Amino acid sequence: MGGTLGESCGISEDVIIKASSLAVNSQNNATGYKMELGPQETFFAFDGSWSVQDFYNHEPFGETKADIALFPSLKSIGNNEVAMINEGFFLKFQSILQTTFQAEVEKAINEGKPIIFTGHSSGGPVAILAAVWYLAKHTRSGGHAPCKCVTFGSPLVGNSIFTHALNRENWSRFFLHFVGKYDIVPRITLAPFSSIRNEFAHILDFFNPQSRNFQNPLIQTSQEASTLFKTVLMNASTVASHTACNLMGSTNSLLETISSFVQLSPYRPSGTFIFCTGNGKLISVKNSNAVLQILFYSSQPADEDDLRIAASRSLYMAMAYHNELKEILLGMQDVVYLEDETEIPLSSNSSALGDTASVNTALKDLGLSTRARLCLRAAQAFEKQKLQNQSTIELKKPSIMKMHNVIAEYQRACDDRKIGYYDAFKIQKGNEDFEANVKRLELAGIWDEIVEMLKRYELPDGFESNDDWIKLGTKFRKLVEPLDIANYYRHSKDEDTGTYLREGGRPKRYKYTQRWREHAQKLDEGGSSETTFWAKVEELKRKTYEKTKEQVIDLEKQVNEWVEKEEIGKDVFLEKSTFVEWWKTLPQKHRSESCLKVHLANYMQ
**Buried-exposed string 505-522: b where 16+ CB fall within 10 A, e elsewhere:** ebbbbbbbbbbbbbbbee
**Residue in 322, 404, 519, 599 annotated catalytic:** 322
| Residue pair 458/501 in contact by the 8 Å Cβ criterion | no
Catalytic residue (one of 21, 121, 222, 284): 121
Element spanning 118, H or E: strand 115-120
467 is catalytic: no
Return the closest-CA partner of residue 481 out of 505, 454, 452, 465: 505
Q: How far is CA 413 from CA 426, 483, 567, 568, 571, in A?
A: 15, 15, 19, 16, 12
Query: 212: exposed, middle or buried (C-beta count within 10 Å: 0-12, 13-18, 19+)?
Result: exposed
CB-CB contact of 148 with 176 (8 Å): yes
Helices (DSSP H) in 248-303: which residue ranges?
253-261, 288-297
Q: Which of 377, 348, 370 is nearest to 360 (CA)?
A: 348
Strand partners, 81: 76
The CA radius of gyration of the chain, in Å to the nearest whole number, is: 29
Catalytic residue among 47, 54, 183, 494: 183
Between CA 471 and CA 517 the distance in angstroms is 8
**94, 314, 321, 420 from 177: Cα distances, Å:** 22, 17, 11, 58
- As a whole number of angstroms, the distance between CA 602 and CA 124 comes to 66
In terms of Cβ atoms closer than 10 Å to its own Cβ (0-12, 13-18, 19+), residue 379 is buried
Active site (annotated) includes residue 211: no
Q: What is the dihedral of CA 9, 244, 242, 184, to 10 degrees?
A: -40
CA–CA distances in Å: residue 438 to residues 129, 395, 405, 433, 510: 49, 20, 13, 9, 18
What's 419's DSSP letter? Answer: S
In one-letter notation, the amino acid at residue 233 is L
How many Cβ atoms sit within 10 Å of the Cβ of residue 118? 32
What is the three-state SS of 403-417?
HHHHHHHHHHHHHHC
CB atoms within 10 A of CB 173: 15
121 is catalytic: yes
Q: Is 369 left (phi over 0), alpha (psi -120 to 50) or beta?
A: beta
d(CA 557, CA 564): 11
The set of catalytic residues is 121, 183, 322
